[in-house]
Amino acid sequence: MKRLLILISSTGFLFQAGIHVNAQSNTDKQEVRIVINSDLGKEVINKHIYGHFSEHLGHCIYEGYWVGEESGIPNTRGIRDDIVDALKESSIPNLRWPGGCFADEYHWMDGIGPRDQRPKMINTHWGGVTEDNSFGTHEFLDLCELLNTEPYICGNVGSGTVEEMSKWVEYINFDGVSPMADLRRTNGRENSWGLTYWGVGNENWGCGGRMRPEFYADQYRRFATYCRNYGDNRLRKIAGGSHDDNYNWTEVMMKEIPLNMMWGLSLHYYMTEWGNKGSATEFEEDEYFRTMKMAVNFGSLLDGHIRVMDKYDPRNRVALVVDEWGTWWNVEPGTNPGFLYQQNTMRDAFVAALSLNHFNDRCKRIKMANIAQTVNVLQAMILTDEERMILTPTYHVFEMYKVHQDATMLPLDLDSDLEYKHGDNKLSAISASASRDAEGAIHVSLVNIDPEQATDVSIDIRGGDVSEVNGRILTAGELNAHNSFDEPESVKPEPFKAARLSKQNLSFRLPAKSIVVLEIK
């Protein structure tokens, strides 16, 4: 018998590629009706959509991953064990490093060799603190091996040279006899790492050099030329792309860079009001609604960049790589403003669920994404305080959604009466995406962002046999509910037993402000 796994997460949403949404208002009974053709689907949801980003910023690296070999906190070669275990449990597929803005002032040769001999630098972007370079190329790639994840390195275009970047690729990927390969061996690594994903600069329109798009396009062509392939390894080079709705940058990149010179083009988007970011935990419904609106409209913004890419690349040879995305609030009171340390609530979980649904349903073009950031910075998966560690609501969304990785996206029809109304404004309250994995299991992620209204859900599953249902739910009493070091499990998935099967139909009551994952066998 086929095994069907249905993932249902609660977040609101207007329109997604691959999903037909018909929002109806002024109805007495709130209902959501979904039709899934389980035997259809062509595009694969690349697992790298579920990637992460870690920068030399605040306590992401130091006092995050890296505690040093002499630490009393359990570690492997200086890398914290509990963080590695947690990220492996969520099936982290890739990790982007060393930035971010830090990447374009980072000189990689300062971070190799004996740690006590590495030169120090000032982290001018993030807090003006001293960076001692004790976590460098070897430590990062060791972390990725412990995580069993793909490394994604972002090279320095802003303040670096073509020669410097070229030598870094050679140091990492060349197995023959050369100055860089020999230097790597001197530093303790015999074989190359075979790294695949390589970013040529970061935010070159901003902190990466304040470049015009035409100038950066030429710089990309120059730098990328000298990022060589060694042996059978083939670099997947990623050009520094646009931000927000700056479609012109995307237009120039697609027009001026030969398509065969780049595997991907990046995009950055933070769901924040830059002039008034607000508190991560102390917010009113007005602020919640505005954040949900940005998260809902993220889909339309993605579609705008995809349309530009389609114009120049109708065969989808270049991936859209959303390698920085998430929420950005004011730092927690009493912390260094340059460290970007913020708490993480159910509001952040809904942003994550909505965004991942957007990415899933646009998987024909979007092949990689990286939430910012993994530990102790911005919309983090994990927060630490010396030996203590907590998992955030966003972590739980990623862990629940991991079933979509490398599964086939299934277009679905969604007909919803439920609208989230606030004042004179309204949003469709429901978002969904679906996939089928290699074993035939089907997963559906469906989200309700309305903070007050539950809704009846009916899912018609066509093309597959079903006989049993189980599930989990992620929800809380308040939108600002979060985990703390004193109460580390205030928000976590719990069993969900409300779903009922009748032949090929699944029905249940989807609670307000909830994310539900159902498994159907």
On the CB side of 329, CA atoms within 13 Å amount to: 24
Give yes or no: 203 in active site: yes
Backbone torsions φ then ψ of 473, nearest 5 degrees: -135, 140
Q: Is there a contact between 369 and 359 (Cβ–Cβ < 8 Å)?
A: yes
On the CB side of 514, CA atoms within 13 Å amount to: 22
Q: Which two tokens stand for residue 233?
A: 């390894």
Q: Count other Cβ atoms within 10 Å, centred on residue 298.
A: 21
Annotated catalytic residue, options 63, 324, 399, 519: 324
DSSP string, 353-381: HHHHHHHHHTTTTEEEEEEE-SBSSSS-S
Q: Which helix (H) or strand (E) holds 51?
A: strand 51-53
Q: Which helix (H) or strand (E) holds 396?
A: helix 393-401
Beta bridge partner(s), residue 461: 36
Radius of gyration of the chain (CA): 23
Could you give the angle at the alpha carbon of 80 between the alpha carbons of 338 and 54, nearest 5°? 40
Q: Count other Cβ atoms within 10 Å, centred on residue 297.
A: 16
* Cα separation, 349 vs 480, whole angstroms: 10
Alpha-helix runs per DSSP H in 176-274: 179-186, 213-225, 247-256
* Cα separation, 50 vs 95, whole angstroms: 10
% helix, strand, coil for the chain, step of 5:
25, 30, 45
Annotated catalytic residue, options 203, 287, 399, 419: 203
Q: How far is CA 386 from the centre of its chain?
A: 26
Q: Which two tokens stand for residue 223?
A: 């730098």
Could you give the angle at the alpha carbon of 92 between the alpha carbons of 88 and 94, nearest 5°? 135
Which residues are catalytic, by number? Answer: 203, 324
